[in-house]
Structure 1
């Protein structure tokens, strides 16, 4: 006696719309986390120097090198912002050029920061005291973030396309640019808190 084979019911798989902002939202979470890390470092910096006037007793770091480094990073952000506009306008070749220019500027920043370390090392080292330790911890932590940003930019630089794809319409160029701008903004805070203010304190202490 033959049995009748009943075909399984056809199940329609519901396809959810792709979230076009998930990459940007994820990067905002990364930035928020990394920002709190730097806030903790800045808090430790001022906690170690509170009520001791020790920053005024130290040779303040060379702020002119830090300002040059800040100008370099701000220039790189300006170039990358221009690249973002090119990517949005689907002028991907120009966006790629802007990305590689940013990479070169970022590499120049790292080289100059290495020189700055060689200058600062004559007056202060990471193992001199708590000031030297926290100063190099914060600046080295930032340098690691710059390296991470450069690696992301390298990925964007070799990416075949930046526009919409069938699998995901995320915006990799803008997402990576957000991280790079964040790294630049952190350096502005570092220049203010670790370079400018200590030099002002040192000046006031000497001329008091």
Structure 2
């Protein structure tokens, strides 16, 4: 397609969207089967994830080859930036929904069950219910397993906060190195950022094991247990995705794919990583501290 004197690159019809649908379907279908204790659920999910890995490798590979061949111009670069901005905006609203749920539970639902607020009559549902947080159990003890203790803000949560904040500095340092055409700074900054992301995930796995075994904190430990694992778990998934993207960008940097003027592939991943850092600060404040 031609606009004025510029040619806007339009790719050929692609098989990747169909493959994406297949991968997403089998992944989610397998999860549904696993939740309902169907033995084949895990196998179906693994198949779906394998299809998604093939999808990302192939589709991203096509985009990289198109970029390296010089098919993209300034207009395409603007389109990529707008798309990434909208993607991150959708992620903001995704986490906003979880933070909103946490806010509703703590400021409206629990007080109303204790006889406070404009829904004060809700206290009739459970006699003697008290407004406490973290709520580690519900009155129906037969259905929920109370935890012995909530997660505190010190220790691993604090260490992980320092790690993610440091990773934001290192990826910014790598960006400065790229713009200054200093490959050593670029590659070194990216390598350190990848290492910090992996360390963060390792600490989070250890934290989950500690929470289950030492604190008795599970998804069934009242509303606190479910919100804790949903919020931190989805954030951990995003850190995993971000780390994989950083590895790809690191490999591309080693191959000399980026220049000081043309490097949106790097910038898009850096935007995403800074978003992950920002979300963690909110999690650390509202889940661990308050």
Q: Please, what TM-score do these two structures have when normalized by structure 2?
A: 0.58
Provide runs of 4+ in structure 1 moved above 4 Å: none
Partner of 2:282: 189
Kept in 2, the 8 Å contact 1:90–1:163? The answer is yes
User: 1:60 aligned to 134, 141, 150, which one?
Assistant: 150
Q: Which has the higher contact order (CA 8 A, sep 6+)?
A: 1
1:147 to 236, 240, 253: 240
Is 1:44–2:101 an aligned residue pair? Answer: yes
Aligned-partner Cα distance in 1 for 2:246–2:263: 16
* Mapped contact 2:173–2:185 kept (Cα < 8 A): no
For structure 1, which runs of at least 5 residues remain unmatched after alignment? Answer: 1-12, 198-208
CA contact (8 A) 1:70 1:187 kept: yes
Q: Is the contact made by 1:23 and 1:170 (CA closer than 8 Å) also made in structure 2?
A: no
Whole-Å Cα distance in 2 between the matches of residues 42 and 179 of structure 1?
Answer: 19
Gaps of 5+ in 2: 8-72, 114-130, 137-148
Contact 2:150 2:217 (8 Å CA) reproduced: no
**The one of 202, 206, 211 aligned to 1:115:** 206
| 1-structure distance, mates of 2:247, 2:135 | 43
Deviations 1:118-166 (A, max 9, x none): 222223101222221111011000000001101110110111221279x
Measure how far apart 1:57 and its partner are.
4.8
Question: Matches of 1:164 and 1:125 in 2, distance apart?
Answer: 48
CA contact (8 A) 1:126 1:133 kept: yes
| Equivalent in the alignment of 2:265 | 172
**CA RMSD, aligned part only?**
2.0
Could you report, residue by residue, the CA deviation over 1:16-71 in whole angstroms, capped at 9, with x for unpaired residues?
45223333332211111101111100111222333152424543312112111100
Count of equivalent residues: 182
Over 3 Å counting, the alpha-carbon distance change for 1:48 and 1:80 in structure 2 is same
